[in-house]
Structure 1
Amino acid sequence: MKFLTAMAAMLIAGTTTFASANFSKVDPQNTFNVVQNNKDKFKLVYFKPDQGEVKINIYNYSGEKVYEQSVINSDGFSQPFNFESLPVGEYKFEVINPDGSKTSKIVKHGMANETLKANILNVNDGKRFRLAVLKYATSPVSVVITDDNDKVVFEETIKSSEGFRKIYDLTDSESSSFNFQITSGEYSVTVPAE
């Protein structure tokens, strides 16, 4: 019985500490974030629990309002946006909170620095890797894997307009570390994998 009581007390103390640590790091001015899902699609995630009307305005690089909407917030929300019909450039998301305060974030729609991203995850013993590629161009993706002596151990071209995930099994290679060179059109990324 003492053991269960002690475990319950530790669980409550750990939960309180965890919750306090999370809440102390939240910036009260930071009420939302904008995530780019692919070339043309964004998602606004509003995480302030205040109830009331939240106004969303989107402005182009010239400061012209290209979109406005009001959302009744009860405990946070997410709202998708499709920029497909808008020209390439920077856009400002402005959110007016129920208390009247404003916050804003700049996003880049279809611009070069958002063109090619890659991530490597070691799947098991260092010889199997999951490559995740996110791209916004229509050109195919070239994947070249080299070992620690810069010898090509695998290469292929993948046709994908928005990206892909694939597992590469390199157990036949004697090397213990690899580099993934990912190229699409004029953009190139090298990701080390060990």
Structure 2
Amino acid sequence: MKTLIAMIVALGVFTNTFAEKRSDETTVKSPVSIRKVDDNKVQLLFGMVPNGSVLVKIYDESSKLVQKDRIYKNEAFAKYYDFSLLKGGKYNIEVLESNQIIEKFELDVRSNVAVPVIYSKVETVGDNKYKLLVNSLLPADLSILVYENGNLVHEESVNNVNGFQKLYSFVKFNPNANIEFVVQTQNGFNKMMAVK
């Protein structure tokens, strides 16, 4: 009887030792993942044998189903999804197996508008004389506007230039007026420079 009780206690200690959750274990990487491989492309990596079919659902920003793809494979697989023909926006991708979501991914395919890199500077050279300097990395069509106390007094356009330098001389400016030069391009650059 004593031997039986000792064996039950030993079995209880043994079971408790192996049932203890260890906090030092490393997390296991999911065999299913979605990753962005290009601005408008994602790759689904399914690194295990699926239990039946795999369903991929793609939703737009308003949670409207855009595409549904059912994949029948009996081995691990990878599949690419191209978003280049869809309109810009955010898309949510869900991967389901046995009606359970096993992976989610959000993709932003809004077009990044490149802001032109333009350096512009204005200096006071003398009485009502101003030197404007504009340098651009790429050729640009410039619009130059000059304001006196908020009123437009001069406007000109310069087409397809990388650099531009000009001396402006105004006769009728009030010496105490607020003078502002504005340099603009059609592709989004807009800079206002105030001189006194």
TM-score (structure 1 length as normaliser): 0.40
Higher helix share: 1
Higher strand share: 2
TM-score (structure 2 length as normaliser): 0.40
